[in-house]
Chains A and B, each alone.
Chain A
Amino acid sequence: MTAPTHEQVSSDRLAPEGLAPVRTLTLGAAINAGLRAAMDRDPKVVLMGEDIGALGGVFRVTDGLLKDFGERRVMDTPLAESGIVGTAIGMAFRGYRPVLEIQFDGFIFPAFDQITTSLAKLHYRTKGKLTVPLVIRVPYAGHIGAIEHHSESPEALFAHTAGLRIVSPATPQDGYDMIQQSIASPDPVLFFEPKARYWDKGEVDSTRVASQLDLADGASKATAEMSKARVAREGTDVTLMAYGPTVRLAMQAAVAAAEGGVSVEVLDLRSISPFDYETILASVKKTGRGVVVHEAPVAYGTGGELAAHVAEHAFFHLHAPVLRVGGFHMPYPGSKFEHDYLPSLDRVLDAVDKVMAH
C-alpha cells in the first residue's frame, strides 16, 4: 500500500549545485539530495525500484530524479523484489552502483534469498575478485498507522548474515551523508530509513561528506565514517542506545530523566552491522548502565547482541544488567495497538528507573 504522501519533501527539494551549503531539510528531502549528489558525482550510480520514477516513490524520496537523470538511471522496475536485487547484482559485476528501493520493510522478503545467499557472500566466494556495491534502501519501522507488512523492523534478520553492512540514519544530516557513504562503500549496504521520521527537519551541511569522498581513499573513509556511533547527548548515569526511529524517543527520555535528576547519555548508533563498540563500551564504562531501545522485537534481536557484547567486555564496569526495550514476540499488531506494542517514553523511562535502582 502507498503511505501518506510526502509533500514536504517535494516542496523543499534541493535545487542542484550552487545553493547554500547549509540548508534545513526533512530527512526524506536530505536522502533525496544525497542521492542526487551521488548521481552527479558518479555516472555509474543507477536507481531501481517500484514506483520510484514518475511517482517519486511512495514516500517521494526519489522525487524529481527521473526528470533530471532520465529513465536509464531512474528505473521503475517490474513488481518483483527478487528480480530487483538479483539483476542489480549482475549490474554491479560490470561496475555499476545500483541503489535499490524496497517499497516497504515487509516486502523485502521475496528478495531475502538474493540478499543473504548471493549478495552477502559473493565477495567471499570470489576471494575478493568481485565486489558488489549495492545499496538497498528500506523505509522501515512503525508509527504511521499503516496496515500489515508496512511497519516492520527486520534489521536483525539481515544483521545475522555476514557480508552485509547495515545502517540507519536518524537525522537529515545523516540521511544526506550516510546515503552517499553507503553508495561509495564497496560492500553491500542495507540502508534502513525510519519512515515515521521522514518529515523531521534539521540542518544539513553538504560540504562535510563531499570533501571526504573527494579523497583518494574516500571509499574507505566513507565506510569507516558511516560505521561510527554518535554521542547525541552526553550524560553520566545511564547510556541509552538507539538507532533510526528510536533516537528521537531516546532524546526525549533523556530530557525527561534529567528532570528527575538522572543524567542520560544518548548514543545514536547509526550503524547496526558493525556496531561501533569502541564508542559504546567507552560510554557504558563511564555510566555503568545501559538500556537499548529499538522497535524490532526484543527476542533474538540486535539489542540482545549489544547487551551480550557489553556484558562480555564491560562486565566489571556494570552496576546493572543492560536492559532491552522493544517490540514483543508477535507479529506487528493492528495499527490501533501499535502505541502499546512499540517502545514508548514511559517504557524507556521505566527501564532507566530499573537500571538506576541497582
Chain B
Amino acid sequence: MAGIGPLSEEGLVRLLDHTGERVADEYFGPFAEHLTFDDLRGFWRDMIMTRAFDTEATSLQRQGELGLWVASLGQEAAQIGSGRALRDPDYAFPSYREHGVAFTRGIDMPSILRVFRGLEHSTWDPAAHNFHIYTLVIGAHTLHAVGYAQAMDWDGLVGSGDPDKDGAVICYFGDGATSQGDVNEAMVFAAVNNAPIVFFIQNNQFAISESVTRQSTVPLAQRAIGFGIPSVRVDGNDVVAVHAVTRWAMEHARSGAGPVVIEALTYRMGAHTTSDDPTRYRSSADEDYWRERDPIARVETYLRGLGELPEDFEEAVRADAKELGRVTREAVKSWQPGPTDTIFEHVYAEPHPLVDADRAWFAQYEASFTDKEVTR
C-alpha cells in the first residue's frame, strides 16, 4: 500500500465487484463461503429496508417534521455487511449515521428520529440491544468503546472458546474522525491493553465538505501500523467483502488476539446532513461515478443474474420497505413533546438542590403565567 493516497481503490478486499461479478480472495474468501443465497437475499433486504427508512427520514425533514437528518445513503453495504457479522454478545458503538447497523441490532427504526425531532437525546436502552446511543462529538465514543472492551475482557467474555459467550466491541467512525486526538488515544489504549475491539472506519471520503485528503496522505488503514494494530482495507460498497472482513476481525478480537482496524472505502451519496449543500465542494461527475457503484445495485445484479431474486420475494421486500416508511411517517407525525417539566429529570441520579430549585421555580412560573392569563 506504500505510496498510495487515501482514496486509492488499489488493494481493497473485494468479493463482489460493481458489475455484480464474484471475485476470488485467497485470504478473505473463506470467511464468506458459508453465505447461502438466503443470507445474501437477507443482506439485500436489510439494505433496502435501511434505505427506505433513510429516504423517508430525509423527506420528513424536508417537510419540517425533523430538525435535521443525517443520511446513511450509499453506506448500506458497509453497515449491513458489518452489522450482520456481529453476534449477540458483541457490543457496537455507532457514531450518528449507522442506521443500518441499528437495524441489524433490532432497534425500532422510527424511534431513532425522536432525537432528530428534538424530543430527547437518545431513545433506546443500550444494554437491551448491545448497541450504544449515537454520539455527535466526533470520536469521543471511541475511547468509551475501548474501555468497554477492556471490561468485557476482565469479565471473562473474551477468549473462552465458547461462541455463545465470547464477544468483542465494534466501534464505528468516519474518515474525518481519524484526525481527532480521542481516536488516536483510543488506538493507543486498545493496542497496549490488547483490547477486544474492532475499529470500523467508514471512509465515505468526506468530513462535511473536506475530502479525506485533508485528513491523511495515506490510506487510513495504514495508521493502524504505527499503533501496532493489524488492519485491512475493504471495498465498503461490497456487502460480501465487508461481511467477510468483519467476521474475521471480530473473531480475532473475540479470541483474545487484540484489536483490529477495518477501513471500508465507501461514498456518502447524499449530503452530509439535510443542512448541507454538496454542490459547493464536489462534482457531479464524482457523484455519477459512485452512483454506478451503488452498494445495493451490485447485490441485486448478482442475485438476479443467477435467478436468485425471485419476483415474489422482491415484491414482498418492497412492500415491507414501503410499510416501514409508512410506519415511520405516522410515528414521527404523532410525536408531541411531553410536559416541559420532564426536562428536569435525569440530570443527576440522586436529588440535587439546584435542579430541584430550578424545577420548582419553573413550575411556579408556569402556574403564575396561567393565572395571569385567566384573570386577564
Contact = CB atoms under 8 A, between A and B. Distances in A.
Whether A and B are associated in the same complex: the answer reads yes
A76 interface: yes
Contacts of A147: 67-68, 115-116, 118, 136
B362 A50 contact: no
Contact of B343 (A83, A146, A148, A340): A340
A107 B137 contact: yes
A328 B117 contact: no
B180 interface: yes
Contacts of A338: 118
B365 A341 contact: no
Contacts of A255: none
A80 B181 contact: yes
Interface residues of B, number: 44
Contacts of A50: 207-208, 210
A79 B180 contact: yes
A235 interface: no
B111 to A, nearest CB: 14
B193 interface: no
Given A79-B176, A328-B362, A330-B343, A54 B209 contact: yes
A334 B120 contact: yes
A160 to B, nearest CB: 18
A274 interface: no
Contacts of A148: 115, 121, 136
B27 interface: no
A106 B121 CA distance: 14
A83 B119 CA distance: 34
Given A76-B210, A79-B210, A329-B347, A1 B119 contact: no
Interface in A63-116: 76-80, 82-83, 106-107, 109-110
B179 A78 contact: yes
Nearest to A149: B136
A328 B358 contact: yes
Contact of A330 (B215, B277, B347): B347
B354 interface: yes
Nearest to B67: A145
B108 interface: no
Contacts, number: 124
A337 interface: yes
Contact of A146 (B67, B181, B355): B67
A194 interface: no
Given A51-B208, A79-B210, A329-B347, A5 B181 contact: no
Contacts of A43: none
B343 A53 contact: no
Nearest to A147: B68
B223 to A, nearest CB: 12
B280 A146 contact: no
A106 B176 contact: no
Main secondary structure on A side of the interface with B: loop
Interface stretch (B161-169, B259-267, B268-276): B268-276
Contacts of A337: 118, 337, 340, 343
A256 B176 CA distance: 48
A331 B280 CA distance: 34
Interface in A314-358: 328-331, 333-338, 340-341, 346-347, 350
A58 B209 CA distance: 9
B214 interface: yes
A54 B347 contact: no
A337 B272 CA distance: 26
A257 interface: no
B177 interface: yes
A55 interface: yes
B181 A82 contact: yes
A79 B209 contact: no
A334 B121 contact: yes
B303 interface: no
A20 to B, nearest CB: 29
Given A145-B118, A147-B68, A340 B358 contact: no
Contacts of A307: none
B248 to A, nearest CB: 29
Interface string B266-304: 000000110111001100000000000000000000000
A346 B369 contact: yes
B137 A149 contact: yes
Contacts of A106: 136-137
15 contacts: A1-B68, A4-B275, A54-B281, A55-B277, A76-B209, A79-B180, A79-B207, A80-B180, A109-B137, A110-B182, A147-B118, A328-B343, A333-B343, A335-B118, A347-B365
Interchain residue pairs A-B with the least CB separation, the first 10: A335-B118, A55-B209, A78-B179, A79-B176, A2-B275, A328-B358, A329-B354, A336-B118, A336-B337, A333-B343
Interface of A: 1-5, 50-51, 53-56, 58, 76-80, 82-83, 106-107, 109-110, 145-149, 299, 328-331, 333-338, 340-341, 346-347, 350
Interface of B: 67-68, 70, 115-121, 136-138, 176-177, 179-182, 207-210, 214-215, 272-273, 275-277, 280-281, 337, 340, 343-344, 347, 352, 354-355, 358, 362, 365, 369
